[in-house]
Amino acid sequence: AKKIAVLTSGGDAPGMNAAVRSVVRTAISFGMEVYGVKHGYNGLLRGEVDKMYLRSVSNIIQHGGTSLFTARSPEFNTPEGVQKAADKCRELGIDGVVVIGGDGSFRGARDLTGAGIPCIGVPGTIDNDISSSEYTIGYDTAMNTAMEMIDRIRDTTESHDRCSVVEVMGRRCGDIALNTGIAVGAIATLVPEVPFDFEKDLVDRIKYAQQTGKRHFIVVVAEGVGHSEEICKRIQEETGIESRATILGHVQRGGSPTLRDRVVASRMGYHAVELLRDGKSNRVVVMQGERIVDFDITEALNMPRTFDEKLYKISQDLSR
């Protein structure tokens, strides 16, 4: 590819800016022309496409959100929309696109490749819910934010001898909850991957810890499990411990990206442009172990999700 574009799509994540910066600077280093597309696939359809230079991505590496803006595009999600976007790329002479987003965005990238425009996906989503990659851009920042917020909640929980039920993000993936639960010393962590028994996994755990002298409790609940308010009420009813529920919500989506997110985003963006330079298409850049590699998008989308059973066991055994 000689003239490439970059866009961010789906939910935003801290580190997306670092990825965009990396794509732009790498492309320029390789002698390519590079364009920034605003508002995800919507911007491609509407021609919101600007040429990017070295200085176009100045001073964004440390910022959360995405300076290219993001969108969910129902129009692109149709065969006609994909065709229209491909025609727009041809009109502009764009012969490669880097799509930073989640699985939905990768499906779009696969369809756009099918319509003749080589695409590369880069995983950007705080949930870490992309089965082909062990790590997604934004995940580390989101977990650290959740941890810091829960540390604050813990101060007040401790002062009042209370139980706090805290809901963290992760619709179908409990990774944020599991790691944050361990990091804050939660008495229980509920994730969508593991069914739970209210008496055994919550009430008994809390009562046992209470008998050994513990007086304040944190329960971490993944968004995909939900019902934090009800769980909280029921804990209070069955244990007699005053309980409060907090849903952290979008605070976890924002903020300055951590070092890990900035570095991984920089590496992944670089790898994406290398693939386009080498004439590759329909690939998704992923992390396996600590290595950055790539897979075919279609194969990546069909990979089964994995859950770290050992880490879950550790969280259970340490929650006492």
Binding mask 241-280 for ligand ATP (x = CB under 6 A): ----------------------------------------
Size, binding site for ligand ATP by CB under 6 A:
17
Give me the least distance between CB of 207 and ligand ATP, in Å please.
38
Q: What share of the chain is helix, strand, coil (3-state, %, to 5)?
A: 45, 20, 35
Q: What's the CA gap between 211 and 7, in Å, rounded?
A: 54
| Angle between helical axes of 103-114 and 79-92 (0-180°, round to 10) | 70
- Indicate which single residue of 10, 118, 257, 269 sits in contact with ligand ATP (rule: CB under 6 A): 10
Residue 141 as a binder of ligand ATP (CB under 6 A): the answer is no
Residue 8 vs 315, nearer CB to ligand ATP = 8
Residue 14 as a binder of ligand ATP (CB under 6 A): the answer is no
**CA 81 → CA 87, 104, 266, distances in Å?**
10, 15, 30
- Indicate which single residue of 9, 66, 144, 282 sits in contact with ligand ATP (rule: CB under 6 A): 9
Buried b (16+ CB within 10 A) or exposed e, 293-314: ebbebeebbeeeeeeeeeebee
**Binding to ligand ATP, residues 98-117 (CB under 6 A):** 101-105, 107-108, 111
- Indicate which single residue of 125, 180, 281, 282 sits in contact with ligand ATP (rule: CB under 6 A): 125
Residue 127 designated active-site:
yes
Question: DSSP assignment, residue 287?
Answer: E
Catalytic pick among 12, 103, 111, 127: 127
Instruction: Name the one residue in this structure whose structure tokens are 């903020």.
Output: 255
Give me the least distance between CB of 212 and ligand ATP, in Å please.
41
| E strand intervals along 54-195 | 96-101, 119-123, 163-168, 188-190
Q: Which residues carry out catalysis?
A: 127
